[in-house]
Amino acid sequence: MSRPTARVVHLVSRPSGAPSAENFAFVDEPVPALVAGEALVENLYQSVDPYMREEMEEGGWELHAPLEGRTLGRVVETRADTLPVGTLVFHRQAWRTHSVVTAERAHLLPDFAGVPLSAHLSVLGGTGLSAWVGLTRIARLRPDETLFVSAAAGGVGTAAGRIARLLGAGLVIGSTGSAAKAAHLTEHLGFDAAFDYHDGPIADRLREAAPDGLHVYLDNVGGDHLEGAISAMRDRGRIAWCGAVAQYNNLQDPPAAPRNLYDVVGKNLRLEGFLVRDHLDARPELYDFLVPHLRSGALVPDETVVDGFDRVVEAFLGMLRGANTGKMIVRI
């Protein structure tokens, strides 16, 4: 019996600066026969994320090999008792139309009636979990506090704005890369104020939006955003550092450290970085908090969905350029 063929993306060269389509290649590979404990998954949705840019560097993804990433799919063939045919699963064997997984490297998706499947890659996935951990475990956001979120129109940023609003934050401010995205944040996502970071120094924009200062900053950018936020923080404010998109295309020559870093001492600030993979135990908390809001319609995931596996590289490059609002997802 002939085996199915998987369409797979390989990294074939490492970028210098911003990546391009030439760094990738689409390859057709036969799916191997399953052995005991394995299942074949037909992939349905794939996430593309900023961290993947770092994986393109030496020491990250291997060249001429399938890549990894968050993926949702349906089991179509199995030799694993815990992964029956028809089961919906989450796994990280991404950038391919079909994946061979084991029970140890895939987990069953919870059955949340009335919740769209793609939400498991957005507000219920790694981006939503990053926002939840940053706000509740690292920064410990309290009701009525003022929050600033950078890269606020991206996956983590939009999730953070929604979650903060549901947690009772007083004033929610976001920065983004265009006036249109700033309007999207305030008109559709519950932000009280938003600005295009091209319009002037971050510290000035923050003083205008929050004259009494910030209690909490969720940092997805680093660089001048971190410097501006430190300037605007109230005494004993908290900074949860999640990402640094300002330097992903300049890893050899990153932005200078904030010139006012010593103000962390002078203002008694707490600055803590975190990796969401160290907080996977928080996922049940996220589900318990968000699923009722998703079912009621009080929360609608903000997603940009690109159709077709052949557009996965296009979606990834577009996400790095800021072509998306909310989570960028590929519907395979």
- Which domain CATH number covers 233? 3.40.50.720
Q: Which amino acid is at 26?
A: F
Could you list the pLDDT tens digit for every one of the 332 residues in the chain? 577 899 999 999 999 889 999 999 999 999 999 999 999 999 999 999 999 999 999 999 999 999 999 999 999 999 999 999 999 999 999 999 999 999 999 999 998 999 999 999 999 999 999 999 999 999 999 999 999 999 999 999 999 999 999 999 999 999 999 999 999 999 999 999 999 999 999 999 999 999 999 999 999 999 999 999 999 999 999 999 998 876 665 656 666 778 999 999 999 999 999 999 999 999 999 999 999 999 999 999 999 999 999 999 999 999 999 999 999 999 99
Residues 84 and 159 in one domain: no
Q: Are residues 157 and 28 in the same domain?
A: no
pTM of the prediction? Answer: 0.91
34 in the same domain as 14: yes
285 in a structural domain: no
232/325 same-domain check: no
Q: Are 167 and 199 in contact (CB under 8 A)?
A: no
Does 131 lie in the same domain as 112? no
Burial pattern 231-251, b for ≥16 Cβ within 10 A else e, equals: bbbbeebbbbbbbbbbbbeee
**Spatial separation of the C-alpha atoms in residues 174 and 148, rounded to whole Å:** 6
Residue 228 sits in the same domain as residue 313:
no
Q: Given 277, 294, 316, which residue is the final one in a domain?
A: 277
Is the domain of 69 the same as that of 162?
Answer: no
Contacts of 87 (CB under 8 A, 6+ apart): 74, 75, 108
**Beta-carbon neighbour count of residue 287 at 10 Å?**
17
The Cα angle at residue 263 between residues 227 and 265, in degrees rounded to 5: 135
- In a shared domain, residues 144 and 227: yes
In angstroms, what CA-CA distances link 128 with 4, 101, 141, 159, 187? 34, 24, 16, 5, 20
**What residue numbers bound the domain in which 38 lies?**
5-122+302-331
Alpha-carbon distance of 34 to 79, in angstroms, equals 7
> Is 167 found in the same domain as 232?
yes
Same domain, 75 and 191: no
**Distance of alpha carbon 316 from alpha carbon 102, whole angstroms:** 26
Q: In terms of domains, do 160 and 232 share one? A: yes
Q: Domain check: are 106 and 175 in the same one?
A: no
Rounded to an integer, what distance in angstroms lies between the CA atom of residue 23 and that of residue 49? 17
128 vs 131: CA distance, rounded Å: 5
Residue 223 lies in a domain: yes
Would you say 301 and 123 are in contact if contact means Cβ atoms under 8 Å apart? yes
Q: For the segment 131-154, what is each residue's pLDDT rounded down to a tens digit?
A: 999 999 999 999 999 999 999 999
Domain count for the chain: 2
Tokens of 286: 């996220």
